[in-house]
Chain A
Amino acid sequence: MADTKQTIRDFLAQFFGDHQLADDEDIFATGFVNSLFVMQLVLFVENEFSMTIADEDLEMANFRTVSAIEALVARKHTTVVS
């Protein structure tokens, strides 16, 4: 899953400039993102990992950190396979 995390970090880097975002750091508490960010993040996850973010996935806990997004991607991929 290292690649997934790196892909997520690469995407997020555009919003954080020189700030080094830790994998467990609260993205929304950093003050770097604006009101359009959630939508861009949802689009990114759907597009990059070929999945659909459904209503039931829309929990802040699923998007708050790099690790949480990675876990969401893994869980959804597992769900699709099973």
Chain B
Amino acid sequence: MALRVQLTDQQSAAREEYEAFAREHVAPKAGAWDRDEELPEDFFTTIGAAGYLGAAVPATYGGGSLDAICFGLLNEEIGRACSSVRSLLTVHGMASRAVARWGSAAQREHWLPRLATGAAIGAFALTEPGAGSDVKGLATEARRTADGFVLDGAKRWITFGRRADVYLLFARLDGRETAFLVERTSPGLQVTPVPGILGTRASMLAELELRACQVPAEALLGRPGFGLSAVAADALELGRYSVAWGCVGLSQACLDSSLDYAGEREQFGVPLRDHQLVQRMLADMATGTSAARLLCQQAGWLRDAADPQAVHATWLAKYYSSTTAFRSATDAVQVHGAHGCGAEYPVQRYLRDAKVMEIIEGSTELQQTTIAHTAYHSRRAAAFRPAADRRATGPAERTMTV
């Protein structure tokens, strides 16, 4: 049982429910899904029926309307079992969040009830062959037509691109960065699976080719020119928050597996747990996981308060959680020795998944430069006390959604 502080009774109960779901429906199959490089169709039905795909959808549209802490706990418990399924929560949540936040009434009415149940799976299509960390390199072009838009370009490394029904896709319209909701069935859209990925192998990556891809006028999401600075930035914040919590779960899984193994495996006449150099690795995993969890909770409380500091706090959380998860995973493999490299134990999957966490939703290097830059802002911001600080509300009393 991990050390936990400041959860409400409702949040604690929710966490137990997420853990039970992950233990029954995710963890036993995660290794097979990793080998198969896909999630089976019946799992989408199972997780949809549990209501978890509606985590970022407002309750008025049939979603779970989770507060930020519960959303985080869901990502932690799912991430503890399978980072590919957690990736589904991430990208589906990002698409859902964008529609809920920036969509027209008609777009919300059409998409949110479907996204809430998993009747439609959403994905986030920003990365291109020439635009990774440098998203300003966005080159996909959109042109207006008499009854909508025509899109030309290519997207790479689109998580759940193979399975998604609708893509939150970014293109330049009249040179301005603009978001679109592109249905998978759009004429001119070709989806090609990307096999052989290092980690999160069941996240069903795809490339998208858009050749004179036709979308209707109502595919436009938000204002032209705000595609990156508002729509993508806001969705990526949720994505970063989701990945950060998922890494807490991943690091916890490394610790859980290592504690089990080090307790059973004997070398030199005693269990591994009695060897001090193994204890160092277990201690670092336990401490790092707990610290990462606290940084995630800090970000969650600030998100629930809609505090502008949530942005910086989420970067801290993602940077620390992802690097901690990778360190925990490499130590977990080390604790397991040769068994850690084999297929019998899950830690080799954890290591491959953890490496991916240091790259997605802002690479470690982007996190470092942004955090250093923002640290100067934070020092100056001490003179400005935001509204959240002035209110006498504790974290347990905040109920806004993610």
Complex CA distance for A10 and B184, rounded to whole angstroms? 46
- Which B residues fall within an 8 A CB radius of A? 102-104, 135, 222-223, 225-226, 228-230, 233-234, 237, 305-308, 310-311, 370, 373-374, 376-378, 380-381, 383-384, 386-388
Pairwise interchain contact B308-A47, C-beta atoms closer than 8 A: yes
Pairwise interchain contact A55-B102, C-beta atoms closer than 8 A: yes
Q: Closest CB-CB distance, A10 to chain B, in whole Å?
A: 5
Interface of B is mostly: helix
Kindly list chain B residues whose C-beta atoms are within 8 Å of the C-beta of A58: 102, 222-223, 226, 230
Pairwise interchain contact A48-B233, C-beta atoms closer than 8 A: no
Kindly list chain A residues whose C-beta atoms are within 8 Å of the C-beta of B225: 60
Pairwise interchain contact B230-A42, C-beta atoms closer than 8 A: yes
Q: Closest CB-CB distance, A52 to chain B, in whole Å?
A: 10
Q: Closest CB-CB distance, B374 to chain A, in whole Å?
A: 8
Q: Say if the beta carbon of A20 comes within 8 Å of chain B.
A: no
Kindly list chain B residues whose C-beta atoms are within 8 Å of the C-beta of A11: 308, 384, 386
Q: Which 3 A-B pairs have the closest CB atoms?
A: A14-B381, A38-B229, A14-B380
Pairwise interchain contact A43-B230, C-beta atoms closer than 8 A: no
**Contacts A46-B306, A55-B104, A60-B225; is A35 near B386 (CB within 8 Å)?**
no
Pairwise interchain contact A43-B307, C-beta atoms closer than 8 A: yes
Q: Say if the beta carbon of A80 comes within 8 Å of chain B.
A: no
Complex CA distance for A42 and B226, rounded to whole angstroms? 12
Kindly list chain A residues whose C-beta atoms are within 8 Å of the C-beta of B233: 35-36, 38-39
A55 interface neighbour in B103, B305, B388, Cβ under 8 Å: B103
Q: Say if the beta carbon of A59 comes within 8 Å of chain B.
A: yes
**Contacts A44-B386, A47-B306; is A39 near B380 (CB within 8 Å)?**
no
Pairwise interchain contact B386-A47, C-beta atoms closer than 8 A: yes
Complex CA distance for A41 and B229, rounded to whole angstroms? 11
Kindly list chain A residues whose C-beta atoms are within 8 Å of the C-beta of B308: 11, 40-41, 43-44, 47
Pairwise interchain contact B223-A59, C-beta atoms closer than 8 A: yes
Pairwise interchain contact B229-A10, C-beta atoms closer than 8 A: no
Kindly list chain B residues whose C-beta atoms are within 8 Å of the C-beta of A35: 135, 228-229, 233
Pairwise interchain contact A47-B387, C-beta atoms closer than 8 A: yes
Which of A36, A40, A42, A44 has the most C-beta atoms of chain B within 10 angstroms of its own C-beta?
A36
Residue of A whose beta carbon sits closest to that of B229: A38
Q: Say if the beta carbon of A31 comes within 8 Å of chain B.
A: no
Pairwise interchain contact A47-B311, C-beta atoms closer than 8 A: no
Mask: chain A, 21-42; 1 = CB below 8 Å from B; 0 = not = 0000000000000111011111
Q: Say if the beta carbon of A74 comes within 8 Å of chain B.
A: no
Q: Closest CB-CB distance, B54 to chain A, in whole Å?
A: 21
Can you pick out 25 interface pairs between chain A and chain B where the beta carbons lie within 8 Å of each other? A10-B384, A11-B308, A11-B386, A13-B380, A13-B383, A15-B377, A34-B373, A34-B374, A36-B233, A36-B370, A36-B374, A38-B226, A39-B229, A39-B233, A40-B308, A42-B230, A43-B308, A43-B311, A44-B386, A47-B306, A47-B308, A47-B388, A55-B103, A55-B222, A60-B225
Q: Closest CB-CB distance, B396 to chain A, in whole Å?
A: 19
Complex CA distance for A14 and B376, rounded to whole angstroms? 8
Residue of A whose beta carbon sits closest to that of B382: A14
Which of B237, B373, B386 has the most C-beta atoms of chain A within 10 angstroms of its own C-beta?
B386
Kindly list chain A residues whose C-beta atoms are within 8 Å of the C-beta of B386: 11, 44, 47-48
Complex CA distance for A11 and B378, rounded to whole angstroms? 11
Complex CA distance for A17 and B383, rounded to whole angstroms? 11
Complex CA distance for A40 and B384, rounded to whole angstroms? 14
Complex CA distance for A1 and B180, rounded to whole angstroms? 37
Kindly list chain B residues whose C-beta atoms are within 8 Å of the C-beta of A39: 229-230, 233-234, 237, 311
Which of B223, B311, B377 has the most C-beta atoms of chain A within 10 angstroms of its own C-beta?
B377
